Structures are given as C-alpha cells and as structure tokens.
Chains A and B, each alone.
Chain A
Amino acid sequence: GIQVEQSPPDLILQEGANSTLRCNFSDSVNNLQWFHQNPWGQLINLFYIPSGTKQNGRLSATTVATERYSLLYISSSQTTDSGVYFCAVTGNQGGKLIFGQGTELSVKP
C-alpha cells in the first residue's frame, strides 16, 4: 500500500519563527489532507490539497503531485500552534485515508 513519511518527527521553535513541514508519499494520490492535533487530542482540518497551493492566514500548503510531496508552512508561529501535524492521503485507487507518523511541534514563548 501507499506509504506516507513526514519530516521532521519533532520540531521546537521560538514564538515568531517560521517553519516548513514535509510529507512524502510513495504513489499517486486522490486526496491529501493536513491536520493539526491539539493537546486535547482533537484533530482539526487544515487543508484539503491533493495538488496546488492554498493559504489560510499564517498557514499555507503546497502539494507537488508529480513529485509526490507536500509542504506545510507555518509563519510567525504562536504557542497555540503547538501539537502534532499529520499528513494523510488516499491513493488513486481510492480506499482508506492513510496517515503519516506526524510532526510534533512545540512553540516556546
């Protein structure tokens, strides 16, 4: 099945810093989503982005489907950005949403 790898596994930032999180996938995808899991365990949708670029406030994401990767950019990070960021994909044949192992982000004041 399709493999999803995220990097880095963890990241510590000072408040105000920028960061880039990466998601590599092993095959063509129909669906790619980025999620933020807050410290209470809630999974929040950030982007649905199987291709192209999207922006939402301080966050933006780019997926280059032909090269099988996606990037999540966080600018001017805040302590509330802390948590785990997951990338998840569904292959072109459909099927289940497969999650990467996540990037744990900690933003220090």
Chain B
Amino acid sequence: SAVISQKPSRDICQRGTSLTIQCQVDSQVTMMFWYRQQPGQSLTLIATANQGSEATYESGFVIDKFPISRPNLTFSTLTVSNMSPEDSSIYLCSVDVGLNTGELFFGEGSRLTVL
C-alpha cells in the first residue's frame, strides 16, 4: 500500500470562498483520483488527476468548480471554488499504487463544512 496524507483534515468555510485540499503520497503512483462523499451518501468520483495534463472530470463535475493540479507523481490538489453549503462533504484522495490489480487506497479525507 502507500501512505496518503491529506490537508486539511477538516475545515469550516464561509459561503463564496474557495479552499484547496492537498494530497501527498509517500511513493510515486500512476493514478490519482478525487472523490466526494456528501453527508449520509456514498462516494462519487469527481475526477482523475493526470500528471502533466488536465484532469479528466466525471459527468456533473466541471473544472471551474473543482480545479485540480497534479504537478508530479506524488502530489495533487483539489480546489473547491465559490463554495456553497451544498459543497459540505468529505473529499477523499485515492491512489492506484501500481499493483496491476486496480486496487485503490484512500487518504484520511478532508471534511469541509460550508456555512
């Protein structure tokens, strides 16, 4: 597996502001993903973070709202822009460590509350 660290672990944000979440992995990984978990719900994939190119977004998620960076094979950021209370969720970073199985491992999550 891999050690996946996310910052912040939790935050309380004001409506209309933006927040950037960081994901750091202790080894180089090929695939990194960002998931959202709204309160009481399951996990939904936001996008695949591609190293050196634009992220690939899932239906219902757009770059203007969730810009993603991936400058290298160990680090990625997700920004939640112009937040509203509906953005209150746990945001989770996930990685494929390259075992050729597709098995994913998750960071500890970032719990955001938007007032």
B111 touching A41, Cβ below 8 Å:
yes
Q: Cβ of A90: which chain B residues have Cβ within 8 Å of it?
A: 102
Complex CA distance for A86 and B44, rounded to whole angstroms:
12
> At the interface, yes or no: A66 with Cβ under 8 Å from chain B?
no
> At the interface, yes or no: A56 with Cβ under 8 Å from chain B?
no
Complex CA distance for A48 and B100, rounded to whole angstroms:
12
By secondary structure, the B interface counts as strand
Q: Cβ of A106: which chain B residues have Cβ within 8 Å of it?
A: none
Q: Cβ of A35: which chain B residues have Cβ within 8 Å of it?
A: 106
A101 touching B42, Cβ below 8 Å:
yes
B111 touching A86, Cβ below 8 Å:
no
Q: Cβ of B108: which chain A residues have Cβ within 8 Å of it?
A: 40-42
> At the interface, yes or no: B103 with Cβ under 8 Å from chain A?
yes
> At the interface, yes or no: B12 with Cβ under 8 Å from chain A?
no
B43 touching A86, Cβ below 8 Å:
yes
> At the interface, yes or no: A99 with Cβ under 8 Å from chain B?
yes
> At the interface, yes or no: A19 with Cβ under 8 Å from chain B?
no
Q: Known A-B contacts: A86-B42, A97-B45, A100-B42. Give 13 more (CB < 8 A).
A: A30-B102, A31-B101, A35-B106, A41-B90, A41-B108, A42-B108, A48-B101, A88-B43, A94-B102, A96-B33, A96-B48, A97-B33, A99-B42
Q: Which A residues fall within an 8 A CB radius of B?
A: 30-31, 33, 35, 40-43, 45, 48, 86, 88, 90, 94, 96-97, 99-102
Closest 8 CB pairs of A and B: A31-B102, A43-B106, A48-B103, A41-B109, A99-B42, A99-B43, A42-B108, A96-B45
Residue pairs across A and B with Cβ atoms less than 8 A apart, 20 shown, are A30-B102, A31-B103, A33-B103, A33-B104, A41-B108, A41-B111, A43-B92, A43-B109, A45-B103, A48-B101, A48-B103, A86-B42, A88-B104, A94-B102, A96-B33, A97-B33, A99-B43, A99-B44, A101-B41, A101-B42
